[in-house]
Amino acid sequence: MNPIDIIIITYNRKQELHELLINIEQLEYKDIYLNKVIIIDNNITNDNGNMVLQIRKDINYSIDYHKPDFNLGVARGRNLGINKSSADLLFFIDDDAEIASTNALKKIIHYISSQPEDTAVFSLRILYFHNHELQKSAFPHKKFKKYKNKGSFNTSYFIGAGHIIRRNCLLTTNLYPEDIFYGMEEYDLSYQIISKGYKLKYTDCVTILHKESARGRQSNLEKSRSLWMNKSIIIYTYLPPIYFISATLLWSFKFLIDTRLNLKEFVKTFILILNKLRSSARKPLSKNNLQYLSSVEARLWY
C-alpha cells in the first residue's frame, strides 16, 4: 500500500474542488506515494458526484467519494475521512486550496522519514493563492513575527487547511470531538495528541496555496459564537482552571466586538457555554504536557 491518503472535506465549492483534483493529478510519484484521495461531500443540496465521476476519466489516481445524508461539519467529516483511510500518513487539505510543488509527495515522505516517531503532526506552510504571502491566520504559532521566517519548529496546534498526521498517532486518540460543528476542533485534537506524548511540528517543506473562499463558511455571528464557545470548552477540558477563566472572558469581549455589542446573542451564547460545561468532563494535561506547551511558547490565556 502506498503511504499517503489525501482527505478533502468539501461544501459548496464545486469549482475549487475540481481545480484541486486537477492539481493533485499534476503531482509526481503518485504511483509510489499516493494511496487514494478521499472526498467527504457535506453539501446535501448540490451533488459533486457527477463531477467526480467525470473527472475520474481524466486522472491517474483513485478517488473514494462519500456523500453523507446530512452536513457533518468539519470535525465529523474529518472523522469519516479518517475511518475511510488506510494509509500510514493522512494528508488533509481544504477544498479551496492547492499544492504548490509537483514533487510535494516525495518531499513529504523524505521529510517525515527523517523525523522522530513521536513527532506525529506536521502543519504545512500556507500562503494566499493570489499573492503568495504567508497567511497569518493559518500559521500555527501566535508569535507570528518571531516564528514566521523559521523553516520548522515544534508547536502546540496545527492548521486545518493543510496538515499531515501519522495514522498510528490518531488511533491513540478519540479523533475529533463530534459535538463541534465548526471552529477550534484542531485545538481539541492537538491537546489529545500532546496528552499521548506526541509532538506537533510546523514545516515549510511543502507549501499550500489557499484561496480561502467565503462560500461554505458560517455567518459572522455563528462563527464568533462557535469560536468563543468551543475555545472555552476545550480550555476547560484540558488546561488549568485559570486559563479557562481568562479565555472565556477575553473571547466574550471579542464576541461583543464582532457582533457590535449584541447583548441578546451574548447572553444566549453564555448560557450555551454554561449548559455545555455541565456535560463536559475535564481531562487535564499532565505536568509534562504543560511543560511541552511552555517549551513551544504556546498561548494559553485565550
pLDDT digit of tens for each residue in the chain (302 aa)?
899 999 999 998 999 999 999 999 999 999 999 999 999 999 877 767 788 888 998 899 999 999 998 999 999 999 999 999 999 999 999 999 999 999 999 999 999 999 999 999 999 999 999 999 999 999 999 999 999 999 999 999 999 999 999 999 999 999 999 888 888 999 999 999 999 999 999 999 999 999 986 555 556 899 999 999 999 999 999 999 999 999 999 999 999 999 999 999 999 999 999 999 999 999 999 999 999 999 999 999 99
Domains annotated on the chain, with CATH: 4-210 (3.90.550.10), 220-284 (no CATH)
* Whole-model pTM over 0.85: yes
Q: 57 burial class (0-12, 13-18, 19+ CB within 10 angstroms)? A: exposed
Closest CA to 3 of 123, 159, 108, 121: 108
What backbone torsions phi and psi does residue 122 show, to the nearest 5 degrees?
-125, 110
Cβ(232)–Cβ(273) below 8 Å? yes
Query: What pLDDT, on a 0 to 100 scale, did the predictor assign at position 183?
Result: 84
In angstroms, the CA 187 to CA 20 distance is 26
In angstroms, the CA 83 to CA 50 distance is 24
